Structure 1
Amino acid sequence: MRVIVSGSDGPVLTRAPIPSPGPDEVLVRVRASALNRADLAMLAGGRHGAAGGMGAPLGLEWAGDVVEVGEGVTRWRPGDRVMAAGGGAFAEYALGHGRRIYPAPDGLAYEEAAGLPVGLQTMHDAIATHGRLEAGQSILIQGASSGVGLMGLQVARLLGAGRVIGTSTSPARRERLAEFGADLAIDSRASDWVGRVLDATDGQGVDLLIDQVAGAVMTSNLKATRIGGRIVNVGRLAGQRAEFDFDLHALRRITYVGVTFRTRSGAEVERINELTTQAFWPALREGRLRLPVDRVYPLEAFAEAFARMAANQHFGKVVLTPG
């Protein structure tokens, strides 16, 4: 099979044997795979949790058809349409764990399905589990124009949020956030962005802030969150370190939680998969949770796809197809 692996000089399209599923695994013929920012860090051999490493198959998110199941797998059968956040996605075939895979809705194009799993499970974990969003509460998504952010806006709406605010530094992208559930779109680089959040929340700040940016916005996030509110950090695109106002944090009595999938056990991921499926499967089947596909590239044009993501030119998911 054709597969993209990491090399010392960057990613390489090569050939490898089709793997065989072990116990609790399924072999999937990949129809489409979606790029994520974590992929960029693995192009030259970096790791993302258990995934990656020099010479390892790249890609974290795929959709396709089950072709073979391993011992102990009872949920899936050959021919089932599935999607997953799993390793080795940029290939013609991939292995997935039978309890960490999602059904792909009938009628949903593989190119669209490939971009859903990471956003779905990340935002259920952040908004419902750790953010404890209740119906009627307000929420702000920092970095709302990313694929995961766009899913966050929709998840917030689905869970009954009262006011949904999204940030993006791009004027063109801010104009589109309302399509995905935002009541208000703001530029977090603007000097008055916290004031706009306070104006939209009767001077209180949001009940829940989902942060994909961190870095220099951290203290401003505290100001934009109400007293007794919650901040869940899921990304650090603007920097992993910054000044933190501990006194402001204490004065506003904010619960601050950092989350990542890189240190989750297999059992934890399986539980997240179960909760995500229970919460979102009806909405997925009805087409109420979606992500736009920015551009589709054949597998051999992977360099163009990676370059588009690295240049931050995309809105929605960049997708590879084996052909």
Structure 2
Amino acid sequence: MRAIVSSADGPVLRDIPRPIPGPEEVLVQVKASSLNRADLAMLKGAAHGRVGGMGSALGLELAGEVVEVGKAVKAWRVGDRVMAGGGGAFAEYAAPHASRIYAVPKDLSFEQASALPVALQTMHDAIVTNGMFEAGQAVLIQGASSGVGLMGLQVAKYLRAGLVIGTSTSALRRARLEEFGADLAVDSRAPDWVAQVLEATGGKGVDLLIDFVAGPLMNGNLQATRIGGRIVNVGRLAGNSGEVDFDLHSMRRITYVGVTFRTRTAGQVGQIVERATRALGPALTSGALQLPIDQVFRLEEASHAFERMARNEHFGKIVLTNA
């Protein structure tokens, strides 16, 4: 089968063996797959949890049709339209674990579906499980213009947040955050961004801050979160380290939680997918949760897709199609 693999020369289209599904896996004929920022690191040979390494098939989420099921799989059948997170997605076939699969709503295209699995499970886990969100609370998504960030805005709004704030350093992207549920869009590079958040929350700060940026924003995040609130760190786009005012952290009694899928077992990820499906399935079916498609490339055009992501020119998801 054809697949995009990592190499010293960038993404390369090669013929590799078709995966053989294990007892708890499902073989999917991939119709579309979408890029995530982690793919840029994997392109250089980095591992992402249990997948990756130089010469391995790239891609972390996909949509397609089931063509074979493992002997222990009960929930899925040949012909099912599915979407899933898992390695080797940039290929003609992939074999995700059955517990990581979502059904594709009948009115959703494979291109649209391929953009959703990682964002759905990441944001439900961050907002609900680790963020302990309750209806009526104020939520801030730090770095909201990414695909996962846009999903975070929608999930917070769907779960009846009292106030949803999104940040972006791009004026063009900030102007679009309202489309995805933001009540207020803030430039986190503005000297008064914390003051804007405090004003919007009556001086208290947000109840929950989901952080994709980190780096130099740590102390500002602490100031923008209410006393006794929570910060959940999902990404570190602005840097893996930064200055921390530990006295500020202590005085505001903020719970700081770090999350990742890379150190979770298959069983733990399956539980996350199950919770996300149960809570967000109705919204997915009704079309209340969607992500914009920035651009679609054919599988053989993967190098252009990677270049676009590396230049950070996109708004929404970059998709590869096998059509």
| TM-score normalised over the length of structure 1 | 0.99
Amino acid at match of 1:8: A
- Which SS does the other structure have where 1:194 is aligned? helix
Whether 1:180 and 2:180 are equivalent positions in the alignment is: yes
Q: Aligned residue for 1:296?
A: 296
CA RMSD, 1 decimal: 0.7
Q: Report the residue type matching 2:70 in the other structure.
A: G
Q: Counterpart of 2:204?
A: 204
Distance (Å, rounded) in 1 between the aligned partners of 2:27 and 2:16:
15
Task: Tell me the equivalent position of 2:246.
Answer: 246
Give the 5 Å matches for 1:31-110.
31-110=31-110
Aligned length: 323
Deviation at 1:107, TM superposition (A): 1.4
Equivalent residue, structure 2, for 1:269? 269
Secondary structure of the residue aligned to 1:318 is strand
Q: Which residue of 2 aligns with 1:281?
A: 281
Residue of structure 2 equivalent to 1:221: 221
- Please tell me whether the aligned partners of residues 140 and 165 of structure 1 are also in contact (alpha carbons under 8 angstroms): yes
What corresponds to 1:318 in structure 2? 318
* SS in structure 2 at match of 1:42: helix
**2: CA distance, partners of 1:252 / 1:99:** 39
Conserved? CA contact 1:9–1:44, under 8 Å? no
The equivalent residue for 2:15 is 15
State the 1:246 CA deviation: 0.3
Encode CA deviations 1:271-316: one digit per residue, 9 max, x unaligned.
0011000001111111010000000000111111001111110000
Distance 2:62 2:306 in 1: 16
Q: What's the offset of the Cα at 1:8? A: 2.6
- Which residue of 1 is the match for residue 146 of structure 2? 146
Q: Give distance in 1, aligned partners of 2:272 and 2:115.
A: 17
AA at the equivalent of 1:251: M
Within 1, Cα distance between the matches of 2:313 and 2:111?
19
Q: Which runs of 5+ in 1 are unaligned?
A: none
8 Å Cα contact 1:309-1:318 kept in structure 2: yes
Per the TM alignment, residue 16 of structure 1 is displaced from its structure 2 partner at its CA by 1.4
Is this contact kept in 2: 1:11–1:44, CA < 8 A? no
Secondary structure at the aligned position of 1:77 is classed as coil
Tell me the amino acid that sits aligned with residue 72 of structure 2: G
Give distance in 1, aligned partners of 2:60 and 2:266. 15
Secondary structure in 2 matching 1:96: coil
Structure 1 counterpart of 2:171: 171
Deviation at 1:69, TM superposition (A): 0.6
Q: Which amino acid aligns with 1:109?
A: S
Letter in structure 1 aligned against 2:311: A
What whole-Å deviation, never above 9, does each CA across 1:97-130 have from its counterpart, x for those lacking one?
Answer: 1111111111101000000001000000000001
Contact persistence 2:174–2:185 (CA under 8 A): yes
Cα distance between partner residues in 1 of 2:239 and 2:315: 22
> Would you say the 8 A contact 2:26–2:68 is kept in 1?
yes
Tell me how far 1:12 sits from its aligned partner.
Answer: 1.2
Distance of 1:293 and 1:10 partners within structure 2: 23
Question: Are 2:306 and 1:306 equivalent residues in the alignment?
Answer: yes
Residue identity in the other structure for 2:25: E
Residues 10 and 303, structure 2, Cα contact 8 Å, conserved in 1: no
Query: TM-score by structure 2 length?
Result: 0.99
Identity %: 68
1:158 alignment partner in structure 2? 158
* Contact kept? 2:111, 2:319, Cα under 8 Å: yes
The whole-number CA distance in structure 2 between the counterparts of 1:17 and 1:311 is 32
The separation in 1 between residues aligned to 2:125 and 2:293, in whole angstroms, is 23
Task: State yes or no: 1:29 paired with 2:29.
Answer: yes
